[in-house]
């Protein structure tokens, strides 16, 4: 994103005002409209697609596999693919590591448990077709929708199969929904002494620093880390700004969750 010097200083001044004036007129806690589709991939257990107003698009597909609990140490595996980035760059690996630690901690293993020996392993494949702003928020929103609409085949064979040799058998068409709470992540851009939620591409380019705050069943949770939203001018940030950004996220999070739950 190349901004000329005048555009840059104009935007910076704009966002410095109290309250910050954003190029698209949003308030600092207002999100851009998103368009979502759910369950449109029939051969995966759960899927969702979100397109943002600036053209960014993300598809998440969730597939489940029956695995032996003794030989698998992680019941959730996350794979991230952002078009335009090689998949061994630190940018992708960092996204992947944040998502993985998030989901490993917050997807309860009971919800995936099948029998004493077997359990479901979830493969979350996140594909970002085009991204103009920092993709982490978009990715977590889409996986939130996908996870909320994941249906796993119902088990018909007996649950305690310690002595039984064969694999568990499943019902032909009955599914039960994957229950549980799922985390989402908010990106906050910090410009001078202001902080704005859901920054678009210009706001990111001009921001001094960025903050990633994760949210899970009603309260902000770790990991919390700062992130550079642009390649150029990164600046230090006052501590109370971080605290205020967290409060901002607290205000906003619940209605974001409600709107996501209401999406069909």
Partner 1 sequence: MATTIDRRRLLGPANAKPLVFAPLPEEYQQKLQIDASKEDDIESQITRTFIKSGLITNANGSSFLELDGNIVSISVYGPRPIRGSFVEKTTLSVNLEDNTGLFNDLLNKKFCQYIENNFLSVINLSKYPKSGIDIFINIISVQDIDQLYLKLLSLVSDATTLAIIDAGIEIIDLVVSSFDYENNTVLSYIKNDEIVGILGESEDSIENLSKIIEKTQKKSIHVKNALTTHLISTSQ
Partner 2 sequence: MSEEFEFKPMSFPPAVVARISPELSLQRHLAIGIRPNLRKFEEFRNIEFNDGGLSRYGSDDQIKNTSVLGSSVLKSGNTTVITTITAGIIEEDLPAHEINDDAAAVNAVFAKDKTDDSNNDIPKSQLDEYESIYPVVEVERGRVGAPTDEEMILSQKLYETFLHSKILSKDSLKVKVGLRSIDSQGKVDIYYKDDDDDSEDFGLGPKRSWKFVLYAKVKVFSRSGPLFDLVWASVLSALQNTKLPRAHIDENAADIKIPVKMRGNHGTIREQYQIICDAISRDPLKLNNEAIGISSNFGIIDIDEESIQTLQNEDSMEIDSKSILLTDIEGEEEEISSKKTISIVSDRDSKNLKSLTIIGNVSNDQLRKSFELTKFRFKHFAK
Determine the straight-line distance between the first and last CA of the chain, rounded to whole angstroms.
34
Partner touching 223 among partner 1, partner 2, none, CB below 5 to 8 Å by kind: partner 1
Q: Report the nearest approach of partner 1 to the CB of residue 37 (Å).
A: 31
Beta strands in 54-139 (DSSP E): 57-68, 76-82, 118-130
Q: Report the nearest approach of partner 1 to the CB of residue 76 (Å).
A: 15
CA dist., res. 149 & res. 202, Å (int): 33
Please identify, among the stretches 12-20, 29-37, 70-78, 123-131, the one whose residues bind partner 2 according to the rule CB under 8 A: 70-78
Partner touching 90 among partner 2, partner 1, none, CB below 5 to 8 Å by kind: partner 1
70 binds partner 2 (CB under 8 A): yes
CA dist., res. 84 & res. 47, Å (int): 23
Q: Which one, 73 or 240, has the nearer CB to partner 2?
A: 73
Q: Which one, 164 or 243, has the nearer CB to partner 1?
A: 243
Q: Report the nearest approach of partner 2 to the CB of residue 119 (Å).
A: 16
Q: Which one, 164 or 224, has the nearer CB to partner 1?
A: 224
Binding site for partner 1 (CB under 8 A): 90, 93-94, 96-97, 100-101, 208-209, 211, 213, 219-228, 232, 234-239, 242-243, 246
Rounded to 10 degrees, what is the CA torsion of 61, 62, 65, 66? -170
Q: Please name every residue paired with 190 in a beta bridge, in sequence order, or none if there are none.
A: 195, 209
DSSP 121-172: EEEEEEEEEE-SS-HHHHHHHHHHHHHHT-EEEEE-S-S--SS--SPP-EEE
90 binds partner 2 (CB under 8 A): no
Partner touching 19 among partner 2, partner 1, none, CB below 5 to 8 Å by kind: none
Residue whose tokens read 């630690």: 101
42 binds partner 2 (CB under 8 A): no
Partner touching 73 among partner 2, partner 1, none, CB below 5 to 8 Å by kind: partner 2
Q: Which of 4, 73, 90, 262 binds partner 2 (CB under 8 A)?
A: 73
CB-based contact 230:218 (threshold 8 Å): no
- Which among 79, 121, 83, 76 has a CA at the least distance from the CA of 96? 79
Tell me which residues touch partner 2 (CB under 8 A): 70-71, 73, 87-88
């Amino acid at each position: 994103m190349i901004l000329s010097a005048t555009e840059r200083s104009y935007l910076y001044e704009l966002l410095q005002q109290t309250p910050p004036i954003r190029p698209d007129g949003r308030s600092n806690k207002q999100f851009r409209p998103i368009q979502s589709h759910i369950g449109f991939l029939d051969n995966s257990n759960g899927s969702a697609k979100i397109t943002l107003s600036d053209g960014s698009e993300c598809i998440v597909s969730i597939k489940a596999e029956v695995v032996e609990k003794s030989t698998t140490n992680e019941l959730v595996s996350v794979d991230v693919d952002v078009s335009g980035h090689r998949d061994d760059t630190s940018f992708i690996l960092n996204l992947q590591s944040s998502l993985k630690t998030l989901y490993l901690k917050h997807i309860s293993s009971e919800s995936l448990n099948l029998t004493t020996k077997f359990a479901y392993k979830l493969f979350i494949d996140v594909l970002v077709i085009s991204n103009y702003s920092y993709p982490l928020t978009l990715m977590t929103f889409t996986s939130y929708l996908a996870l909320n609409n994941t249906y796993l085949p119902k088990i018909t064979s007996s649950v305690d199969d310690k002595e039984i040799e064969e694999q568990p058998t499943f019902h032909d068409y009955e599914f039960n929904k994957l229950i549980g709470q799922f985390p989402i992540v908010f990106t906050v851009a910090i410009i001078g002494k202001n902080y704005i939620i859901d920054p678009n591409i210009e706001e990111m380019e001009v921001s001094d620093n960025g903050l990633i705050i994760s949210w899970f069943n009603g309260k902000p949770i770790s990991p919390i880390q700062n992130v550079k939203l642009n390649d150029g001018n990164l600046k230090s940030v006052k501590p109370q700004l971080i605290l205020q950004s967290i409060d901002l996220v607290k205000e906003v999070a619940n209605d974001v969750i409600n709107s996501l739950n209401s999406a069909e």
